[in-house]
Amino acid sequence: MEHKVEITDILSLTHDVKRITTTKPEGYTFDPGQATEVAIDLPDFKDKKRPFTFTSLPQDDHLEFIIKSYRDHDGVTNALDSLVSGGSLIIGDAWGAISYKGRGTFIAGGAGITPFISILRDLAGKNELVGNSLFFSNKTGKDVILESDLQEMLGDDFTSVLTREKVEGHEHGRIDMKFLKTHIEDFSQNFYVCGPDKMVKDVNELLEKMGANTDALVFEK
């Protein structure tokens, strides 16, 4: 089912990421970690639907999406980047395979953090974040989405990893076998992995090699 929602606020979070807040259709529901198909309510874009994750909470009176723009492509995210408050989006019903299964380690790459934001916010609101940790990989410090929010929620259980620069307060390198061996002691826990397809595939293969139960790996299939 399609729903038209009005854009009520747009805020730049990084050089290429914006938070878009919209109205919420009456009775609309989703679970933390789920996504929906989004289209811009303009003649040239109504049929160009793209999946985006809700970063708001199910009980909020609004919907929120955090969207990275790819300005070198003349596509939907580039068009979303130029929207202003008062415009409209068309969304479908909620779907998605990423959901919270219990305490564990979240591993995100770039915009792959978005399914985890609602989950972590939900856990924080319930005082159930203890025992969970997050490793968040980005190219540079300026690419880290909601860094202060994640730091406030998770404290020492939040580790930012940068692949292309060395910055104080961030780990440097890739989330490879050496990194996982150094930072994780218990591979029997739940693991939540989201990011570029290759990263998800590589990290999941490494986790399995190190003894992680495939049933405890949660990722978008």
Residues whose CB falls within 8 Å of the CB of residue 58, separated by 6 or more in sequence, listed in order:
29, 30, 31, 32, 122
- Say what the pLDDT of residue 150 is: 98
- Say what the pLDDT of residue 188 is: 94
- Say what the pLDDT of residue 157 is: 97
- Say what the pLDDT of residue 77 is: 76
Instruction: Find the angle CA(181)-CA(187)-CA(193) to the nearest 5 degrees.
Output: 90
Which residues of the chain are under the pLDDT cut of 70?
71-74, 220-221
Task: Answer yes or no: are the C-beta atoms of 40 and 67 closer than 8 Å.
Answer: no
State the pTM of this model. 0.93
Task: Answer yes or no: are the C-beta atoms of 216 and 189 closer than 8 Å.
Answer: yes
- Say what the pLDDT of residue 220 is: 66
pLDDT tens-place string over residues 151-198: 999 999 999 999 999 999 999 999 999 999 999 999 999 999 999 999
DSSP the chain: --EEEEEEEEEEEETTEEEEEEE--TT----TT-EEEEEESSTTTTT--EEEEB-S-TTSSEEEEEEE--TTS-SHHHHHHT--TT-EEEE---B-S----SSEEEEEEGGGGHHHHHHHHHHHHTT--TT-EEEEEESSGGG-TTHHHHHHHHGGGEEEEESS---TTSEES---HHHHHHH-S-TTSEEEEESSHHHHHHHHHHHHHTT--GGGEE---
- Say what the pLDDT of residue 72 is: 62
- Say what the pLDDT of residue 111 is: 94
Domains of the chain: 3-91 (2.40.30.10), 104-218 (3.40.50.80)
Task: Answer yes or no: are the C-beta atoms of 75 and 27 closer than 8 Å.
Answer: no
Residue 135's DSSP bridge partners are 107, 159
- Say what the pLDDT of residue 81 is: 79
